[in-house]
Each structure stands twice: as C-alpha cells, then as structure tokens.
Chain A
Amino acid sequence: MIQSYLTVSVILFCLGIVGVISRRNVFTVFMSIELMLNAANLSFVALARLHESMDGHVLALMVMAVAAAEAALALAVVILLHKHKGKLDTNVFSLLKG
C-alpha cells in the first residue's frame, strides 16, 4: 500500500525536476519547485502513516508554512525583477554574475 503513495510522490518529484531543468520561464520553474515540495510532503505523510507516528504530519505542516512564506517572498522578488528587466526569462536574471 505504501508503494503506491511513494510512486506518486516520485512521479511528482521527477515532474518537478524536469520542469526546473528544462523550462526557462520563472513562473514555471517556481511551480516546479512547489511540485517537488509537495512530493516531499506526500512521502512524509505516507511514511508517518506507515510508522504510525505524528512526526511526519508535523513536518508536513511545517513544510507547508515555509512554502507559503517562500511563495510570497519569491513572487515579490519576481515581480520586482520583472519591473526592472521587463522579462520573465531565467537567462536574463544573472545579476549576481559580477
């Protein structure tokens, strides 16, 4: 039973990896990161159910809170960068290159 949940989690994580590597839109990359966070959450909850402990649930809730905070800040940064550069291409955002 646990295998099906873990397989769903692996599918989501690999979709996230494909999105992060092969897409160049900032929003799509961001959504792929959210997918990967959700995959981790799903495996946390599934393994907590396997071991019958509450640790995984608490960890999943913490990941949710951190992801919400991260979403707010990342979108603020993306909108500011879009105001500066007028683009959403990840190749354009190379301000730290020096």
Chain B
Amino acid sequence: MQPLVWPPMANPTLFSLEGAVGIIFLLTIALVVTGGLIAVVSQRLVRAVSGLAICFTGLAGVYYFLLSPFVAMMQLLIYVGAVSILIAFGIMMATPEQEIGPGNAWISRLVGPLGASVGGLFFAALTILGLKTPWQVFPRTAEASGDIEQVGKTLLTSHSMVFELISIVLLMAIIGALVIARRGRN
C-alpha cells in the first residue's frame, strides 16, 4: 500500500492534497479529544457512551494515518462495534439516569480538584518527556507495513504465542460470562 503522505511535505499549502490531508488529520484528532472529553465529563450515561464511540472512531482514523489499516479496521470492529454497544446495553440493563447520592461531603468536594491536579501533573510530565526526547527516525521498510498480510504472517510465525494467548483469554471470558449469567438466573 502506497502511503498518501509519507514523509510529509515541508510546508504544505491549504489547497493542495497534503493540506487537505493535514486538515483531515486535525479533524480526527479533534474527534478523539472531544469524544474523550464528552465521555469523561458528561453527567448522562448515554451521552458519555456516544462520546466514547466518537472517540474510538477518531482513533481509527488516527491509526489509518499511522499506515496500519488493519488495526484501524479492528478498532472500528471491536471498540465501536462491540465494546461501545456492550456498554450501551449494560446501561440499558441498569437503571437509567441514576442519581448518585451526596456521600461524604468533604471527600466529594476534594475529589474533583484531586483528579484534575493528578491528571494535569501526568499530562505535563508525559508531554515534556515526549517532546524532549530526541526520537530517531528509522527508514521505512516493506516488512513493517501494517497491512493484513504482514499482520497475519507476524501473528502466525514470530508472535504465535500472542495468538494462542488471545484464544485462551477469549475462551476464559466466554466461560466466565456464561457462569455469571447462569448464576444471575436463579
């Protein structure tokens, strides 16, 4: 698969192909960030799940920009198609729009600033770390294109243990979900 823009042009103009691709890239990032914000901040659960689905869709776009279309497809299939829908069903099963009681007064007043400060500290530290590190850029190779053929070869040859592990984990999850569902019945 030939990448659309790689390496990126030095200074793309707005009305060229590269400029349009840059705008789409910024739009996907905006989708990710706004979706995540809605998912965390929103008080109503249905809106939070919608924000989560928006965030996952934007992430699939970001994976496509990273030239790994298989991971992007799996993101759409597993996260948008399965996990978000599963959470939506879970919210439907539980009582909708549940009121959270006041709880302990000063703890609940403390918890918002605590979360914000811890998140801000993590953000500052990790962003400084990511921006200050001199990342070495490796040349592109054909062996690491993220298409389905390479992923399949890797999963069945050098990383076959991961494949087996995924199978066992999914089997365990199926059995566990069945056991829990059976216990709830009677």
Contact = CB atoms under 8 A, between A and B. Distances in A.
B70 A78 contact: no
Main secondary structure of the interface of B (DSSP, over half): helix
Given A49-B67, A51-B138, A61-B151, A75 B86 contact: yes
Interface string B95-107: 1001011011000
Interface in B1-16: 7-8
Nearest to A67: B83
Main secondary structure of the interface of A (DSSP, over half): helix
Interface string B155-186: 10001001001100110110011001101100
Contacts of A66: 166, 169
Contacts of A22: 111-112, 114-116
Nearest to A53: B144
Interface of A: 1-8, 10-25, 27-28, 30-32, 34-35, 38, 41-42, 45-46, 48-55, 57-62, 64-73, 75-80, 82-83, 86-89, 91
Interface of B: 7-8, 29, 32-33, 36-37, 39-40, 45, 48-49, 52, 55-56, 59, 62-63, 66-68, 70-71, 74-75, 78-79, 82-83, 86-87, 89-91, 93-95, 98, 100-101, 103-104, 108, 111-112, 114-116, 118-120, 122-123, 126-127, 130-131, 135, 137-141, 143-144, 146, 150-151, 154-155, 159, 162, 165-166, 169-170, 172-173, 176-177, 180-181, 183-184
